[in-house]
Structure 1
Amino acid sequence: MGISLALLVLIIIALVMNKASQFFLPHKVFFILTWMIYALAFKMLGVSVHALQLTNMAPNHLLTGFPTIDLLGIYPSWEGLVSQLIFVVIVLIVTFRQGEE
């Protein structure tokens, strides 16, 4: 009974997605979702480095006068900001290389 119901739900979802794909471009949706995942990874990286610093598992070299932006996962330390900068550079390199192909 449970498997039959799950299959029925999957079939209904597939039919709805098939009909809905005629009204919007899936590539635009995936483009937006990709950048949302990049933003989430950026924040998670900053929060993770900050958590390691708070528990004294990673060094903490603070930047005086630099703001803390919790919403974006930006904290005033060299380690967190450098790791996020490296992430942004990697994302940009991957994005530009995909654009060339």
Structure 2
Amino acid sequence: MEPKPRRRGLPGAAARRECGDPRGDMDGCAPRPHADGLSQMAKRIEAPTLVLWGDQDGSFSAASQEHIRQLLPEAEHETYEGYGHNMFWEVPEEVGTAISNFLDK
């Protein structure tokens, strides 16, 4: 049996539908905690935390990021202007550097 070819680039609507979401917007791919669940999870975080967000993120709005800032005030928050939810694919060097610098502290 031949291996499946690897996908190149960001996943498109067809790839997203493969995970069970007929609309292709990733909602069916992974459960998202609602605000109350996120608040409960945030209370248990004791480790240093880095939050990365692209300001063009179609999955998590600026309001949701502000909510996360309030829940995790001690966390480091990095915003990637002009990038979306997958900024780690769009600017991997920048994101990798941010993660590496965070881990070096």
TM-score (normalised: structure 2): 0.21
- Larger Rg, first or second structure (1 or 2): 1
More helix by share: 1
Please give the TM-score of this superposition, normalised by the length of structure 1. Answer: 0.21
Higher strand share: 2
